[in-house]
Structure 1
Amino acid sequence: MNDQAARGTTAGGRRVAGPVPDRASLRATALAHLARFGTTRAGLTQVLERRVQRWARRAVEGGELSENVEARAAPLGAVIEQVVAEMVALGAVDDAAFAGSRARSLTRSGRSRRAVQAHLAARGVEADIVGTVLDETLGERGQDGQEMELAAALIFARRRRAGPFAPVPEGGEDAVSGDEEAVRRRKALDAMARAGFGRATAEAALDMDPEEAEDRIIRMKSA
């Protein structure tokens, strides 16, 4: 093998695309990705599409006509669908399981239900799966769901050192004027609103006794 081939370039310095991806190479790419990351059907499809796009780009950079590259890449869409379907059949890709795991992880890091829902939608999880998983994982929008949302809001407040987690100022709480406290509270409420927490939940979190707040977080994370 000459130096250019070893570097993956032509004599003119252009990159070599290599053979067009086939079912075997796309399946190998899928398995390698799944060995390291959890993902959804849509996520795996994007991984494989990017694999084809990289090949196509290198082929054009290597001197192939773009129309010829497009013609060779076009049939690979169906191949990608087949590989993804195979991974689903093997159980390596499970949108509901992915959504449940991610929902629990995000909630325990202080994400609101609305933020979790948006995250899962962005990962390509279908809306009906998202709704079912959130009800099963975080509780329906009744008492159980409200308790989980409140615990997530408390974790968010703790990260921002707000509400029950605000540091005691030098000189004690009396050293902070009412106006300063009002500004801090408004900023915390605005941040929680942007994070997707409802006003009632945010206020309940900010007004909670520190000991009870910590206890609720511990109970949620140990559930």
Structure 2
Amino acid sequence: MTGRAAPPLLTTAYLEAAALHYLERFASSRANLRRVLLTKARRSLAHHGGEREEAEALIEAVIARLAGLGYLDDAAYAEMKTASLIRRGGSRRAIQAKLAAKGVAAETVRAALEEFDPEAERAAAWALARRRRLGPFRPPAARAAHRDRDLAALARAGFPGEIARAVIDAETTEADPADDPTRDMA
């Protein structure tokens, strides 16, 4: 005995309730919600039996219904996720990879990244450096010893070399867009 309760029988009502419960807690793309519901369906099918094709048809119907009601919108999800990842210090490449992993179509990702200009990428690199205490956010005595490591961290995060060098080699944090008192006045 594993101590885990038997999964519910697979019905449209159960899948819709599970989808709504998931969407209450997390923003999601259609493909990601499909993966979540397929996991639940596999557990139910393993315990109660049934055909995978029928489960997939039920899942597609639930996804279509929720999309029709406006609960699922891949374009809005991509824009929201892009803005969030930029604030956290995500590079263009990292954002593309994360959205692709969530099943967002390439055209939708491109549309969400249209406003991701070089200035936004530079601001994201500064945000990551601030969050991880890289470059000018390190104690001055440790900066030179960690320069290569800091550059590598920004490179692994997907930032172009010129942006990574500009951030890591900055003398002070005054170039950090977050320090600009006029940035929110637009």
Gap change, CA 1:206 and 1:58, over 3 Å in 2:
same
Give the Cα separation in 1 of the matches to 2:155 and 2:22. 36
Q: CA deviation at 1:198?
A: 0.6
Task: Give the AA of the match of 1:190.
Answer: A
State whether structure 2 residue 109 is matched by structure 1 residue 109. no
- Kindly indicate whether the alpha-carbon contact (under 8 Å) linking 1:99 and 1:120 is maintained by their aligned counterparts in 2: yes
CA RMSD of aligned residues (A): 2.5
Match of 1:3 in 2: none
Task: Give the AA of the match of 1:217.
Answer: A
State whether structure 2 residue 149 is matched by structure 1 residue 187. yes
- Kindly indicate whether the alpha-carbon contact (under 8 Å) linking 1:26 and 1:80 is maintained by their aligned counterparts in 2: yes
Q: CA deviation at 1:201?
A: 0.7
- Kindly indicate whether the alpha-carbon contact (under 8 Å) linking 1:112 and 1:149 is maintained by their aligned counterparts in 2: yes
Match of 2:60 among 75, 81, 84: 81
Match of 1:147 in 2: 119
Task: Give the AA of the match of 1:45.
Answer: R
The TM-score, its normalising length taken from structure 1, stands at 0.73
Match of 1:29 in 2: 18
State whether structure 2 residue 103 is matched by structure 1 residue 124. yes
- Kindly indicate whether the alpha-carbon contact (under 8 Å) linking 1:26 and 1:48 is maintained by their aligned counterparts in 2: yes
Q: CA deviation at 1:212?
A: 2.4
Give the Cα separation in 2 of the matches to 1:46 and 1:14. 21
Match of 1:213 in 2: 175
- Kindly indicate whether the alpha-carbon contact (under 8 Å) linking 1:157 and 1:163 is maintained by their aligned counterparts in 2: yes
Match of 1:38 in 2: 27
Bigger radius of gyration, 1 or 2? 1
Give the SS at the match of 1:39. Answer: coil
How many residues in Structure 1 have an aligned counterpart in Structure 2? 183
Which segments of structure 1 move beyond 4 Å, counting only runs of 4 or more? 13-18, 218-223
Match of 1:164 in 2: 136
Percent of aligned pairs with the same amino acid:
41
The TM-score, its normalising length taken from structure 2, stands at 0.87
Give the Cα separation in 1 of the matches to 2:138 and 2:108. 38
- Kindly indicate whether the alpha-carbon contact (under 8 Å) linking 1:189 and 1:202 is maintained by their aligned counterparts in 2: yes
Give the SS at the match of 2:140. Answer: coil
Task: Give the AA of the match of 2:123.
Answer: A
Give the Cα separation in 1 of the matches to 2:4 and 2:146. 58
Structure 1 unpaired stretches of 5+: 1-8, 60-68, 139-144, 170-175
State whether structure 2 residue 61 is matched by structure 1 residue 56. no
Gap change, CA 1:221 and 1:26, over 3 Å in 2:
farther
Give the Cα separation in 1 of the matches to 2:50 and 2:55. 10
Give the Cα separation in 1 of the matches to 2:88 and 2:44. 38
Give the Cα separation in 1 of the matches to 2:156 and 2:131. 15
Give the Cα separation in 2 of the matches to 1:90 and 1:135. 27
